[in-house]
Structure 1
Amino acid sequence: MNDRDPHARRGWENSILGGGEEPDARFTLANERTFLAWTRTSLAFLAGGIALGAFPLAEISDEVRTLAAIFVVTVGLLISGGAAVRWLRVERAMRHGRPLPIPGIVPLLSFAAVCACLLTIAMLL
C-alpha cells in the first residue's frame, strides 16, 4: 500500500520550486500567463531580427543591418531566458509568502526600445 499523498509534488518539482505552501491555482496560472506573454514578446523580437537580416534596406548598410539584427535577436534571447527565471522567482516567492520580485526584464526591454527609437531617428536624419 502506498501512503504517499497523491496530490503531493514529486521530488524534482519540489527541488525546483523550493518547497513552501502550494499557492492558489489562480495565482500560479496568472504567473504562467505572464511567462507566456514574455515568451510572445521574445518571439516578436526573434521575428524582427530575422526580418532585419533577411530584407536588404537601401537606407542601411549591410553591416549595420546585420549588427541590428543580431542585437534584436539577442534581446529576444535574453527576454526568453529572463521570462523563465522570472516565472520561477515569482512562483517561489508566492510559495514562501514573500513579496514578488521586481521584473529584471523590464529595464532590458526598455533599453532595447530606446535603442530602436534612437536608431530610427538616426536613419531619418
Structure 2
Amino acid sequence: MKNAAMVLAATVFSMGSAFAQNTFPTEYPAEAKPVAGSEISNRLTGKVFTVKSATSGDWRMEFDKRGYAFVDTDSGYRDNGPWRIEGEKWCANMGKTGDNCAELYAAGETLYYKRAKNGEVVSMTMR
C-alpha cells in the first residue's frame, strides 16, 4: 500500500511538471531567417499585422509612418508608443509595457519576433 501511494504521488508530480512546461514556441521556425536592420523599416513601416500568440490570442499591430506602433486586442487591451530600429532589432517604447527590443525573423511573408514578456515567439502576418 505504501509503495502504491509513492507511485501515485510520483505520477501526479510528473504530470504537474509536464503541465508547468512552456506550451508556446520559444525558438524561431527553422525556415525563418533574421531580417537585417537595414531591411526592418521596409518590412514594418506603414503596415498593419495580425499577431498570433499561443498565450494571448490574436491582436492587431500597426507601425505607422510617423514612427508610432499601436496594439489592439480582442479583449480590449490597447497600447501605443514610438518605435525605432537599433542595430539589428526593432524596438518600441509602449506606454504600458515599456521599452523593449526584439530581432525580427522572416519566412516568406510571415514575420516573427520573441516577446520580452515571456520569451514566446509570435508570428505576424500582414492584414
TM-score interval (norm. to shorter): under 0.3
TM-score by length of 2: 0.25
Report which of the two has the higher share of helix.
Answer: 1
Relative contact order, higher structure (CA 8 A, sep 6+): 1
Q: Which has the larger radius of gyration?
A: 1
Instruction: Provide TM-score, normalisation by structure 1.
Output: 0.25
